[in-house]
Amino acid sequence: MIAIIDYGVGNLRSVQKAFEKVGHNAIVTSNPKEIENAKAVVLPGVGAFAKCIGNLNEYGLVDVIYKTIKAGKPFLGICLGMQLLFTEGEEFGIHKGLDIIKGRVVRFPATSSNNGPLKVPHMGWNNLIIKKDAPILSDIRNNPFVYFVHSYYCVPEDSSVMAAVTDYGLQFTSTIWKENIYATQFHPEKSQEIGLKILKRFGELS
């Protein structure tokens, strides 16, 4: 069973349905015991960084996230769930993240590298440029399109955790892989077949 952490934000049903579609059982839960007993854990998320960190604390779910990661279980952060893993985020002021991946979460600049205006949020389908053969990307070839919707992006201190990058005004980290920790800035549950392949692989890791 895969546990999808419910901390009062976002559209969790889509994540659950996507796992079920590819043959993995998944539950949406805010019960730390259930999360601890799961074979793999997913931290989804949309909305604002500060509110999400606040909710994780309020729901008493921070410890179980650290425990899961320490136990070596496959862990997947999606979108804001990826950003929360970082040291700090600068959305609506500087806020501490979970500090599981060293680095910061910063806003897209107003202009791109060629000085054209850059629309923010980065919304829609963009390419995944694969840098490292992360297990969850093992079925993925040819820089496929995946679905993004975000205004902030992650800047890891250690570039070796970058499994894929994406171009939007600049090149940003769109997939992370570090030991048992995986994270995607895009939404695999909204990325049609490509996304389903990624979730299928993730479910098979445990």
**Chain positions contacting other proteins, by CB under 8 A:** 9-11, 13-14, 17-18, 21, 46-48, 110, 117-127, 145, 147, 149-151, 167-168, 187, 189-192, 195-196
Q: Report the distance separating Cα 145 and Cα 132, nearest Å.
A: 17
Whose Cβ is closer to other proteins: residue 86's or residue 168's?
Answer: 168
- Among candidate residues 52, 91, 122, 189, the one labeled active-site is 189
CB of 66 to other proteins, least distance (A): 25
Phi–psi pair at 66, nearest 5 degrees: -60, -40
Active site residue 189: yes
CB of 86 to other proteins, least distance (A): 17
Closest CA to 20 of 190, 205, 203, 162: 203
Helix then strand then coil, % of the chain, to nearest 5? 30, 35, 35
Token pair 């970082």 is found at 86
Which stretch of DSSP H or E encloses residue 83?
helix 80-83
Residue 175 CB neighbour total at 10 angstroms: 28
CB of 13 to other proteins, least distance (A): 5
Whose Cβ is closer to other proteins: residue 33's or residue 114's?
Answer: 114
Residue 85 near residue 49, CB atoms below 8 Å: no
- Among candidate residues 52, 79, 95, 154, the one labeled active-site is 79
Q: Report the distance separating Cα 172 and Cα 155, nearest Å.
A: 7
CB of 157 to other proteins, least distance (A): 26
Whose Cβ is closer to other proteins: residue 73's or residue 190's?
Answer: 190
Whose Cβ is closer to other proteins: residue 69's or residue 84's?
Answer: 84
Active site residues: 79, 187, 189
